[in-house]
Amino acid sequence: MPVDTLSLVFAALADPTRRAILEQLSEGPQPVGELARPFAMTGPAVTKHLKVLERAGLIKADRQAQMRPRRLEAAPLREVQDWLERYRHHWEERFDRLDNYLQELQQQENKP
């Protein structure tokens, strides 16, 4: 059975802690201790979040002597963007209709 990467990425992004970790990693590779610093949670709890991100392919662990800094892997985010792009025209149509409606309301308001 093939892995549904998109579902794994959405599940990983559903958690605010994991999104914050990705934001930290957007500045460059960091060791686990640095990634855990902003959060009031145990080391094992942070490790669980990192495993979810790794399973989704959003981060990778590098080996540098004893340390294993994590780095961002943005390719799965591109898949999310591509999937969302299919629905852009729906959003744009709705915004256009809302804009037209608001203009009509404004014109009615300005009539004597």
pLDDT at 98 over 80: yes
| Structure token digits, residue 25 | 């990693």
Would you state the pLDDT for residue 23? 96
Would you state the pLDDT for residue 52? 97
Contacts made by residues 99-106, CB under 8 angstroms, sequence distance 24+: none
| Structure token digits, residue 108 | 């009615």
Tens of pLDDT, residue by residue over 26-40, are: 999 999 889 999 998
* Lowest-confidence pick of 25-29, 64-68, 100-104: 64-68
Task: In whole angstroms, give the CA distance from residue 91 to residue 73.
Answer: 28
CATH match of 5-84 with 1.10.10.10: yes
pLDDT at 3 over 80: no
Rg of the chain over all Cα atoms, to the nearest angstrom: 21
- pTM, 2 dp: 0.76
Return the axis-axis angle of helices 5-13 and 43-55, rounded to nearest 10°.
150
CA 58-15-77 angle, to 5 degrees, is 30
